[in-house]
Amino acid sequence: MSSPEIASLSWGQMKVKGCSTTYKDCKVWPGGSRTWDWRETGTNHSPGVQPADLEEVIKKGVKTVVIGRGMSEALQVPPSTVDYLKKNGIDVLVLQTEKAVEEYNTLAAKGVRVGGVFHSTC
């Protein structure tokens, strides 16, 4: 199973190829995607992305995780979250969301088992 291409991104809207849902924030992994609902883990812009936000994605056997911090990079990613990924043998890229989507799509097109979490507003 390959990681699905992110077909489009604009403020507050993301589309994943092969999926009819329009996401505000989304999680993607080889073979799938879904809404990233921050309420599930109590995530806020600060302190930001928690290991619990990434567990589902890494359980899909990804080798790389791309984190999109938002269009204005308002979403924080604490060092503890990056350490959590590295301790699990996963490469991590933390980028502004437009750059994150571009990098994710490049890796997916190369056949890398890549997953990600993306924030499409601030």
- The dihedrals phi and psi of 5, each to the nearest 5 degrees, come to -70, 140
Residue where the block lists tokens 């350490």: 83
User: Could you tell me if 12 and 120 are in contact, meaning their C-beta atoms sit under 8 angstroms apart?
Assistant: yes
**pTM for this entry:** 0.97
Q: What pLDDT score does 93 carry?
A: 98
Q: What pLDDT score does 101 carry?
A: 98
pLDDT along the chain (122 residues), means of 10: 96 97 97 97 96 97 98 98 97 98 98 98 96
Report the candidate in 80, 85, 69, 78 with the shortest Cα–Cα distance to residue 119. Answer: 69
Q: What pLDDT score does 57 carry?
A: 98
Q: What pLDDT score does 1 carry?
A: 87
Look at domain 6-118 and name its CATH class.
alpha beta
The tally of CA atoms less than 13 A away on the side-chain side of residue 69 is: 16
Domain limits, the chain = 6-118
| Pairwise CA distance, residues 57 & 24, whole Å | 17
